């Protein structure tokens, strides 16, 4: 059997690569986004529950939707969103006071 251009010649190696790409990586992304949604504080308490359910039941697709839409709706504890009146709010390290 001739080796493929990217170094995998054995069909078992290709199966491992496909498993890694289509099962393990989306699952890790799903777990990361699920934990992120659980840690964030949302303006409405029900919004957190909705996002957790969306991510949990739709797996990687829900995590992808949350990544682009839901993350901007909440803030992590200990940080605040920047506002026009105070653009340095929530920046770490804090800018020096003058």
pLDDT 10s digits, 12-69: 888 888 888 888 899 999 999 999 999 999 988 899 999 999 999 999 999 999 999 9
Give the pLDDT confidence score for residue 97 in this predicted structure. Answer: 73
Higher pLDDT, 1 or 48: 48
pLDDT computed for residue 19 by the predictor: 84
Q: Which two tokens stand for residue 76?
A: 């992590």
Q: How far is CA 49 from the centre of its chain?
A: 16
Residues 47, 72: contact at Cβ < 8 Å? Answer: no
Q: Are the CB atoms for 66 and 55 separated by under 8 Å?
A: yes
> Do 33 and 66 meet the contact criterion of CB atoms below 8 Å apart?
yes
Residue-level pLDDT at 2: 44
Q: Which two tokens stand for residue 40?
A: 């964030």
- What does the pLDDT read at residue 1? 46
Quote the pLDDT of residue 84: 54
Predicted confidence band of residue 81 (pLDDT cuts 50, 70, 90):
low
């Amino acid at each position: 059997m001739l080796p493929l251009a990217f170094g995998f010649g054995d069909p078992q190696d290709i199966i491992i690569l496909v498993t890694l790409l289509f099962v393990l990586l989306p699952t890790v992304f799903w777990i990361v986004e699920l934990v992120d949604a659980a840690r964030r504080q949302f303006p409405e308490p029900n919004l957190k529950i909705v996002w957790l359910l969306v991510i949990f039941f739709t797996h990687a697709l829900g995590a992808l939707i949350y990544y682009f839409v839901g993350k901007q709706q909440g803030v992590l504890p200990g940080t605040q969103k920047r506002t026009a009146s105070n653009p340095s709010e929530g920046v770490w390290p804090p800018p020096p006071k003058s």
